[in-house]
Structure 1
Amino acid sequence: MKLGWLYPVGDWNPQLLRELKGRLKPRNLIISAAISLLGQFVLYMSYVVQIPQLRADGSLPMSDKYCTGGSEYSYYHKCLADAAGNLLVDWQKWSLDLFLALSLIGIFGLLVAGTYLLINDLAQEERRGTLNFIRLSPQSAQSILLGKILGVPILLYLIAISAVPLHLWSGLAAGIPVGRIFSFDGILGLSCLFFYSLSLLFGLVSSALGGFQAWLGSGTVLGFLWIAAIKPVINNSLDWISIFSPVLILQYLIAATGIESTNSFSYLNIEQLHWFFLPVGLGMVGLGSALILNYSLWTYWCWQALNRRFHNPSKTIFSKRQSYLIVAGVEVTIIGFAFSENYNRLLEDNFGILLLYNFLLFLGLVVALTPQKQALQDWARYRKQRQRKNLLSSSLVRDLIWGEKSPVIVTIALNLAIASTMLVPWIFTQLDGRDWLPALTNLAISASLILVYAAIAQLVVFMRTQKQGLWIIGALAALVILPPVILGLLAIEPSQAPLLWLFTAFPYAAIKYTSISSTFLALLGQFSVLALCTLQISRQVKIAGESASKALLAGTK
């Protein structure tokens, strides 16, 4: 098959041309067309067989979801006939259900299958060794990765495009304005850009997982989208999950028809979605704007990480400067969803979810910001050369705050300060006065625990081993999972031994049973562990600096 018409594409993006030439082959195109047409036919016929029919004796069925009479029960209506005895069918509702089914298949198909294809493609490039050759090309990381996003799922795009006529026809037949249909398609496209960008980032940083990474990534996206699609709005920070799902927009496409579909999403309570008391879920414009802003913001940060990591895999995923902005952005987002005019939930409900978000965020930051062993050795040698200066000099402080090769503990501490500063006003405005002290105590214990985890992760880096990222993740997973599991196996409840539970990743489970003295002992114990880890890190940095300096001097002789 001649693809000469594609060569102008290569002038704009050579990587895209490479991907298209490898995939737009007759066999692949025929298979894709067959999958699309057969899939649409099967879906269409599955709804055709649901159309109510007269019984064998010519009588009317009692009720059906696509009949036009009065409501019998649930979504079923009494069946009626016209003057000629023909069964009256609610074609608008039938078309709407077909449109919604096609839309849901499109959402999950594009996002899950596209995620798998992109991650698997990067894994194959890594195994073949061609990814390093691509990195050496004069193209920018943005051009190469954009070529991947546009080219790798090209057959998936063709399948989706071939379904547009049925998608558009069923939507118009259901009475959905064409503007709303295209708005939904645009938001779906933006969601693809976000999830595909995130998939590329995951593929770049998880190469140690080998062939399993594509299944893990696509499975995670599938689970996340399923949860986001079925989770109702409950006016806490978990509502942030909902605005990552294009499914939310479908409710306002249904509303535009003026009918109630059997696939209605009204139970999601989308109209109750608020952010800092702004009713963003009250209409399609507000909800669509929220989804667009959310996708755009986090797509931007994905690309910041992609630009850093693609040409230099040894770099941290984010710089320390970027981490401060990311933490501030996440805090503003999740705290906005946690505000409620009628706060009547327990501390463990809303505040506990905020703590969980922050705990996961900071575990991710520890992994994303911890420099590799070679980078730490380079920094240690640099510090060794400046050893005549005071250890508390401005250059050292500047390195610890901004330097990408320096240990990560100070940066995590500053990010914890940013997060805590933004959480404290929420505590005082949303919680009852009697909950202020437990909440602040919980915040302090969680922050000190995260610092301990960061210090232990930093020590893991100094181990003489490969795949340090996996070791860091494994160490953090053990610290998070093992203590509560051991206490659970020993049948030690938070109410029985609250002090022990304060040293686990879930201290809020024991806060209400804890005395002031127990809290003080927990903080003292955590700071003692942190101090010991910090001393060990300083010792390791000093040893690394001396070893690197000796090796450098030996090489110059």
Structure 2
Amino acid sequence: MRLNLLDQIGDWNPQLFRELKGRLKSRNVLIAIGLSLMAQFLLLNFFNNQLPNLSRTYSKYCTEYDPASYGCLKQGGDYLIDWMMWWRDIFIALNWGIILVLMLAGVYLLINDLDQEERRGTLNFIRLSPQRSRSLLTGKLLGVPVLLYLAVGAIVPLHLFVGMQADVPTVFTASYYLMLFAGCYFLYSAALLGGFMGKLQGGIGGIQITTGTAFLGVFLTAFLFIPNYLLWNVLTVWSGFSQYVIGSTGTSSVQWFYIPLEQSLILSHGFTLFALGIGSYWIWQALDRCFHSPGATLLSKRQSYGLMISFQVLMLGFFVRDWGQYAYDDSGFFIAQVAVVSSANLVLFLVLIAMLSAHRQTLLDWARYRHFERSSLQIGSAQTTTGSTRQRSSMWQDLVWGEKSPAVVAIAINMLITAAILLPWIIFHPEGVEKWTVVLGLVISLNLIAIYASIAQLTLMMKNQRRGWYAMSAVALAIGLPLLAGVILYAEFGSGTATALLLFSPMHWVCLAQGAPAFMPLLAIVGQWGAIVLLNAQLAKNLKRVGASESKPLLAGVK
């Protein structure tokens, strides 16, 4: 029976068959289930020890206490226990335990498995398989943590039984497993992408991650994903059942384009699943690319435009809402909102810069091809005005859509997309808000992103093998130095020079909120535009130089 089932799985997904065959050994299965049963026994024993007994008569689960001894009262020889509360606490512990085990252990297993495949040299062999990448990666996603699935599956009967004893609504239990599945699918997909990122030729943005990737993934999952995942679900999806997750109830108001998400189970579940689906879609787009083309960027320029649109619309919806007790026409509060949006965009753009920036060899190949094409037109002595126009048009098309061209133009287009989505929100905001101040702040934010993108792409042209780390350091210095110098000067002298320096850092919103003179933001914008022009002129010069030096021998042979 087991062999027939595995044969059927092998026909459907050979990679999943390979993973299951290597892991579903009798010894491994017994160990996984045995550890699961032992953990359940220890959990029940721990909560059983919290009940009053002969050696300790006090317990938080007592319904009534003896005022003289502060111990639990008895009735008919039995302690008066709030059994509903006791079962509920066990249910909460199981909820957290299942989430932590599935997410933390699953992320580690997936990333570590890819690392082992790389060390054994079988990762490239898998890439040569005629199967579709999605089939192979789905086999990894389902097969690598299979023993973890068995261990958690052994907990499910106890989890359901405890839920019934605690009188937990069936709708919450069903919602818990639905959101657990959706969250794990998103997280495991991200873990696969993180594992592949460390194996890419040239790494991500020129930085190669070879050691500690699995532990980094576990760290980010524990301190970034799980807290936000639970917080979001408690505020929206489980807003009426938060006592079964955090032990207490509360009120919240989460709106998206004025739609109160927490007031409808269908709406909150649908929105959360839709958002996770959008995120998973872009992760799998990147997975498809890095699986088949390890030397390519994680996203194409065309895909980055779609990612930017979906992210901006999704994020903006949380700020277009009824703020209730807050003064809606308060300029400081609105500036704070736009500052938060700009900070989130800065993080997104830094990630996007790393995902789109090509490393040195790719840029050399692109520069050599473009130079050779222009020279070929000249050799044929058929270069006309029309031909020159077509050539320039082809150049721009390559910068906008090409796979190997520099990323600065694509980053600029993503900035225009951001401005096109955020500006209507600013312009149509109710009267009483200093809109020009907010617009100037948004322009400064986008200028800084353009500067960081230009610095990163220019630094990645270096011949040094550690150019990826140099690019990251250069961007970090561009972000940190004006901020550090401005804070020090302001703390020492409180001078306008400090304000001017902060206008060249992500903290420029502080200056604008404090009412900086109008000429200072305008001068900062002009200076930033000058820096952008100089950086990109140097980048174009470098590309022209390396392109000419590589193609001259080829052209000499043609002549």
TM-score range, shorter chain: 0.7 to 0.9
Provide the residue aligned with 2:204 in structure 1.
none
Provide the residue aligned with 2:540 in structure 1.
538
Mapping for residues 242-253 of structure 1, pairs under 5 Å: 242-243=231-232, 249-253=237-241
Secondary structure of 1:281's counterpart equals helix
Q: CA deviation at 1:276?
A: 0.9
Cα distance in 2 for residues equivalent to 1:464 and 1:351:
40
Provide the residue aligned with 1:383 in structure 2.
370
Tell me which amino acid in the other structure corresponds to 2:399: L
Q: CA deviation at 1:324?
A: 1.2
What is the TM-score with the length of structure 1 in the denominator? 0.86
Mapping for residues 399-414 of structure 1, pairs under 5 Å: 399-414=398-413
Q: CA deviation at 1:449?
A: 0.9
Cα distance in 2 for residues equivalent to 1:220 and 1:494:
39
Q: CA deviation at 1:418?
A: 1.2
Q: 1:66 to 1:383 in 2, by over 3 A?
A: same
Q: CA deviation at 1:462?
A: 1.1
Provide the residue aligned with 1:217 in structure 2.
217
Contact 1:335 1:423 in 2 (8 A): yes
Q: CA deviation at 1:475?
A: 2.9
Tell me which amino acid in the other structure corresponds to 2:247: S
Secondary structure of 1:272's counterpart equals coil
Tell me which amino acid in the other structure corresponds to 1:66: Y
Tell me which amino acid in the other structure corresponds to 2:61: Y
Further displaced range: 292-301 or 428-437: 428-437
Provide the residue aligned with 1:479 in structure 2.
478
Cα distance in 2 for residues equivalent to 1:5 and 1:226:
35
Q: CA deviation at 1:252?
A: 3.4
Cα distance in 2 for residues equivalent to 1:129 and 1:113:
24
Mapping for residues 176-325 of structure 1, pairs under 5 Å: 176-207=168-199, 208-228=208-228, 242-243=231-232, 249-253=237-241, 263-267=246-250, 269=251, 271-325=252-306
Cα distance in 2 for residues equivalent to 1:33 and 1:490:
62
In the alignment, structure 1 residue 100 sits paired with structure 2 residue 92 = yes
Mapping for residues 49-448 of structure 1, pairs under 5 Å: 49-53=49-53, 65-68=60-63, 82=75, 84-207=76-199, 208-228=208-228, 242-243=231-232, 249-253=237-241, 263-267=246-250, 269=251, 271-341=252-322, 342=324, 343-344=326-327, 346-347=333-334, 349-387=336-374, 388=383, 389-390=388-389, 393-430=392-429, 433-448=432-447
Provide the residue aligned with 1:46 in structure 2.
46
Provide the residue aligned with 1:239 in structure 2.
none
Could you list the runs of 5+ residues in structure 1 that have no partner in the other structure? 231-241, 255-259
Cα-to-partner distance string for 1:475-502 (whole Å, 9 max, x where unaligned):
3233223432344456657953111111
Aligned residue pair count? 526
Provide the residue aligned with 1:257 in structure 2.
none
Contact 1:401 1:410 in 2 (8 A): yes
Q: 1:24 to 1:466 in 2, by over 3 A?
A: farther
Q: CA deviation at 1:448?
A: 0.7
Provide the residue aligned with 2:529 in structure 1.
527
Provide the residue aligned with 2:452 in structure 1.
453
Q: 1:439 to 1:155 in 2, by over 3 A?
A: same
In the alignment, structure 1 residue 514 sits paired with structure 2 residue 516 = yes
Provide the residue aligned with 2:26 in structure 1.
26
Contact 1:97 1:263 in 2 (8 A): no
Secondary structure of 1:361's counterpart equals helix
Cα distance in 2 for residues equivalent to 1:151 and 1:494:
62
Cα distance in 2 for residues equivalent to 1:211 and 1:315:
21
Could you list the runs of 5+ residues in structure 2 that have no partner in the other structure? 200-207, 375-382
Further displaced range: 200-209 or 304-313: 200-209
Secondary structure of 2:260's counterpart equals coil
Cα distance in 1 for residues equivalent to 2:136 and 2:349:
30
Q: 1:434 to 1:249 in 2, by over 3 A?
A: closer
What is the TM-score with the length of structure 2 in the denominator? 0.86
Secondary structure of 2:292's counterpart equals coil
Contact 1:407 1:458 in 2 (8 A): yes
Provide the residue aligned with 1:466 in structure 2.
465
Cα distance in 2 for residues equivalent to 1:446 and 1:426:
16
Secondary structure of 1:337's counterpart equals coil
Q: 1:384 to 1:112 in 2, by over 3 A?
A: same
Cα distance in 1 for residues equivalent to 2:353 and 2:460:
12
Provide the residue aligned with 1:234 in structure 2.
none
Provide the residue aligned with 1:236 in structure 2.
none
Provide the residue aligned with 2:203 in structure 1.
none
Secondary structure of 1:104's counterpart equals helix
Provide the residue aligned with 2:202 in structure 1.
none
Q: 1:108 to 1:247 in 2, by over 3 A?
A: farther
Cα-to-partner distance string for 1:53-108 (whole Å, 9 max, x where unaligned):
5788xxx86xx5434469x9xxxx996655x3533322222222211110111112
RMSD: 2.9
Tell me which amino acid in the other structure corresponds to 1:444: V
Tell me which amino acid in the other structure corresponds to 1:7: D
Cα distance in 1 for residues equivalent to 2:216 and 2:245:
33
Provide the residue aligned with 1:233 in structure 2.
none
Q: CA deviation at 1:339?
A: 2.1
Q: 1:266 to 1:537 in 2, by over 3 A?
A: same
Cα distance in 1 for residues equivalent to 2:41 and 2:50:
14
Cα distance in 2 for residues equivalent to 1:552 and 1:152:
49
Further displaced range: 147-156 or 26-35: 26-35
Provide the residue aligned with 2:377 in structure 1.
none
In the alignment, structure 1 residue 11 sits paired with structure 2 residue 6 = no
Q: CA deviation at 1:294?
A: 1.3
Cα distance in 2 for residues equivalent to 1:466 and 1:3:
50
Q: 1:327 to 1:229 in 2, by over 3 A?
A: closer
Secondary structure of 2:78's counterpart equals coil
Secondary structure of 2:240's counterpart equals helix
Cα-to-partner distance string for 1:131-189 (whole Å, 9 max, x where unaligned):
11111111221111111111111111111101001111111212223343123102101
Q: 1:55 to 1:282 in 2, by over 3 A?
A: farther
Cα-to-partner distance string for 1:247-299 (whole Å, 9 max, x where unaligned):
96455345xxxxx66942534x4x41111111111243332222211111101
Q: 1:495 to 1:519 in 2, by over 3 A?
A: farther
Cα-to-partner distance string for 1:431-453 (whole Å, 9 max, x where unaligned):
76343122111101111111111
Q: 1:337 to 1:227 in 2, by over 3 A?
A: same
Further displaced range: 91-100 or 297-306: 91-100
